[in-house]
């Protein structure tokens, strides 16, 4: 699994280094959350679906065995940055700037 992650990171680096080969925004967001893009609509175990990749043609899957759990999996709610949280929670939200809160 670590070899696969290193190869994906190298591929991302090469695609960003060559002008004109930049990745779509949804793919960059997926990779930014340490996700992988799969052709199927459902993710294989131990991955969970977390949006789309390559202009909604693939599914972004994140590893549920890592520390990158979604906010809802951890019992929280994703809120925009202008909303104040009484208690913040660790977890991923679909929008990078949003916060994961247990109490709003």
Segment-wise mean pLDDT, segments of 10 residues, the chain, 104 residues: 58 50 80 82 83 88 73 81 85 76 76
pLDDT at residue 3, rounded to an integer: 61
Query: What tokens appear for 96 in the block?
Result: 């990078």
DSSP 47-95: EEEEEEETTTTEEEEEETTSS--BTTTTT-EEE-TTSPPSEE---B-SS
pLDDT tens-digit readout, 3-30: 666 556 555 555 554 444 577 888 888 8
pTM higher than 0.85:
no
Domains and CATH numbers, the chain: 23-66 (3.10.360), 69-103 (2.20.20)
SS3 percent helix, strand, coil of the chain, rounded to 5, is 25, 25, 50
Q: Are 94 and 72 in contact (CB under 8 A)?
A: no
Report the C-alpha gap between 60 and 16 in whole angstroms: 19
């Amino acid at each position: 699994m670590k070899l696969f992650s290193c190869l994906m990171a190298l591929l991302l680096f090469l695609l960003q280094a060559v002008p004109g080969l930049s990745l779509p925004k949804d793919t960059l967001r997926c990779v930014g959350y340490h996700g992988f893009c799969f052709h199927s609509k459902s993710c294989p175990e131990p991955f969970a679906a977390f949006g789309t990749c390559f202009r909604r043609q693939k599914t972004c899957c994140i590893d549920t065995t890592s520390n990158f759990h979604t906010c809802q999996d951890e019992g929280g709610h994703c809120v925009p940055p202008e909303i104040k949280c009484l208690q913040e929670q660790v977890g991923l939200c679909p929008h990078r700037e949003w916060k994961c809160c247990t109490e709003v």
